[in-house]
Chain A
Amino acid sequence: MVCKNALVIDWPWAIVFLSKRQVCSKCHAQSVLGYELQKDSTLADANRPLDRNLLRYVWRHTRAEQIWILCVIIASMPTYFLVLDLPVRIINQPIQGDGFEVVGATQEFLNISFSLPEFLGGGEFVIFQGFELERWPYLIALSSLFLGLVCINGLFKFYINTYKGRLGERMLRRMRYQLTDRVLRFPIRHFKRVKGSEIASMVKDEVEPFGEFIGDAFVQPVYLGGQALVAFIFILNQSFWLGMIAVAIIAIQVTLIPYLRRRVLELGRMRQLTARLLSGRIGEIVDGISSIHVNDTSNYERAELSSRLSKIFFIRYELYQRKFFIKFINNFLAQLTPFLFYVVGGYFAIRGTLNVGQLIGVINAYKDLPSPINGLIMWDQKRVDINIKYAQIVEQFNVKDIADAELQQHSDDPVEPLSGEITVNNLNVVDDTGTALVEDADFTIQVNEIACAIGPLGSGAGATADTLAGLINPTSGRVLLNGRQLTELPQRIRGRRFSYCGSDAYLPQSTLLDTLLYVNKHAPLRETDGSNIPEKLHPKTRAEARASGNTLLSYYSDWVDYEAMGISGPEEIYEKVRDVLDVVEMGETVYQLAMRQELDPKQHPELTDKLVEMRKVLREHIDGSEISNLVEVWDWDGYNEHATIAENLLFGTAVETDDVQSSQLVENEYLRSILKKDGLDEAMFDMGVELAETAIELFADLSPGNPFFEQLNFMSPEQLELYGPIVARAKESGFVGVNESDRRMLLRLPFDYVEPRNRLRLLDQELQDKILQARHSFHENLPEEMQNSISVYNLDTYNPHNSVQDNILFGRVAYGSSNGPEKVQALIKALLRKNGMDDDLFRAGLNFDIGTGGKRLSEAQRQRLILARALLKRADLMVVNRGLNALDAKSQEVLIKRVIERARGENGTKPFGIFWVLTSPRMASEFDQVFVFQRQRLTAKGHASLLEDTDDFYKQLVA
């Protein structure tokens, strides 16, 4: 009696509960051990092909965590059970009075005892007698216990869910890292076959659903399977035959559903592939946008896109149909069982072979069976689905001939300079289509030899250079450095002691300076002082990186190898950079970039202050000199003849994306109200009519592509046609009578008018005065919402929306003076130099953002930059494969001569060697050794003077 009313913890739970600590501390130990093992075996792990089965992959990396979370779930069971059980007890006992029939009766609270099942001999073990409580305190105690348990249960859930989430995220992180790590080790030729956007879609999107699954990968089946088993045993216990009915139905489910699912899985795979191809295709559209425009194929692309989307749609539609059909079958079978229970069980009950209590017991027990079984089926469905997705990804990343991770192992130690000779024996290179690129090449060069290779495109010279640089592996034959195979050299030697300039000038987006220093970032050599970390790093950053098998090297360390460049630290970097940029004639470019840059005074307060200072110095210099008529400076009380009417009105720069751009000005209500005040709008309207008439008179019979249209600064060729009828209407009705839309169209025109440029004598002194007045009243009452859309010209402040040059100039260069801009620029440059601002601007120029793929620089500039950084790297052998082909012949010559001069060094020190595949063979005579390639074969070698006499093909090339 006592036992029944007491708070009983069932024995199997209790054992688990009690022994939890040991098991779990073991788990914990195991997980710590796991990390250690992983650390030692990173390389082995990276080299092993990815597991083809996701579960195996997950188990390998999260075994300890999976076991731990299972333990926690089991530990949470008693509370869960009690939370379900307590409300019944609260209602039955203290509220309804069960056990409190006698006045003053008490109940035992927190009685902990075990009752052994009968097959273990029965009996009871009382651990804690509990407290004797009366009805009211007993209600309070039970309710408080309920509240406490709810909290504990909630905390368990919270812990389990975050743990599972973290587990999934770690696995995702590991997987993404591993996949990208493999991309870094793909053989170079493999990249001819893959699309960047497809890889991106796999690494980013396709692995995403795994995260959710990984936390449940092992826990779910164990947990649900356990539940199902318990319910099942209970049924069997009640009635063997009815249990067998349940077994039969489950057997049907288990055999039928995988059969139905086959097509679903196939569809899932197709869905994944088509989606991936779609992202690849969209990437292609973006990359090939110019050829779409020049060939008018946009509609072809649209049709192609639509056909792809339609394919995806029908795949998904069929998928839904089948999925929900399976669900229907599932639900039907689940309901079939109780039907059979009622019919068969009812029959036996009526016959009297089964008692009614048992039947009700079975039916009640069966209530608990379908949901875990369904859960299991769902889990399995997800498992198979995700496994297929996973296999699809793994297939793309388990590439043949992937580089050994050992080759890319990082090292902080400096790499000794190379010397000696490179021997090429019987070198043959065949590409993947079977075309020979090089046949039977045999030669030896000293590492510091100044050699060049010449020959037509595809003659084998380029492929030989790429083989030396390690971009292509020999198909047969050997390339030896002092007797050691070049292919076996780790990347830390090849990547640091060789430099390479190819003709493909792709540069990732970055600043100019970082682009140059990129070639010297091999290892995190100096700890960061924290100034380059944008926001504080999470304290567990390192631990989490380790737990996900990511590299522990810090991105924020200073990776630049200053010693390799021959300097001691970041302070000396600018001198080095200026030196190499001067070799490739980029010094002036960097200065120009600095002058064109828009600087934010908040980020560069000192520099912008100095520039404002320079503005004043320039003014003093100009005033009274012969240059004074070349520049018209901004003056609050004077009309600037060489600026547009819009600029004169606003007296400032329109901040981007705002509504004060000159084409939109006419829409601005506030400005219109200012113009109206002095009748300026009517004057401008008349100007507009005149401008439109002139434009129509001059341009009406020209085709829109005609070069003359470049001179029409206030109208576009397309607009010209519109203005004919507008002018006619305007002349008829005048300023007041014409409709608002026509008025706007005409008012828009004079905003871009510049008298000295357009020379139509439309702007007299009176009108200029009116515009000045309008400027003043415009700024006096500027509404708040427009305060930030104009950056006003102010002699004492730096304008962040103007270029450096415009900020120094603080005015406009006059139209019509010969070479005006050049003269002014030269003056500014001289003044900057005189005032020691060279270095500041050089640094500002190096901060220039080169754009995606370096596209904000010209191809020639990119190639120069790549050559410059190859010099900056101070490698022992510089391989150039037509690396300057975007430059004209004259510039190429200059650069080649300069690089050779560097390679010869002072007093014949020969600091590095060159293997240069030349675009213009005439330069061959500058080199000490010339290799002549013809039809994939090395046909002659020697000094140019020798070849001149002996080799006809050489003579032909050089001629």
Chain B
Amino acid sequence: MSEGTHPLRPRPVPRNFLLLQELENGEKGHGDGYCSYGLDKSDDTFMYNWTGTIFGPPGTPFDGRIYRLRVYCGDQYPKQPPKVWFITRINMPGVDQQTGAVNPREIECLDKWKPSNNINAVLRSIFSKMTKRESRLAQPPEQTTYPTPLPATGN
């Protein structure tokens, strides 16, 4: 018997239909307005590549800045968490200063990933990390970006 057919466990929605729902929620702009996301390309049939935006939390070194992130949802999403990179340069714990890659072990939502999480929850979790004392660091010049990685496809 395949996973999720137990009558007491909620049946998982297939990846593609889950991501279609996330896309719709993203377009409606749920949440408090600090985090948003959408598909990178509107014809990405299998919805691998997403762009996230985080507004720097007020009262932090990120205040007033807009951060763009790349979010990659692989074929095993949501069993496997998405991979996340900052596009906009940022100095904070858990972000690789060469590539902008977000270390999943440093972000609570990715570290303790559950398939019921979603792209919005990931962005919220990163936002939350930005408000922590440990993230009060000197920042690179505004509107600088990490070198563009090759677009990911498939796995």
| A and B: bona fide binding partners | no
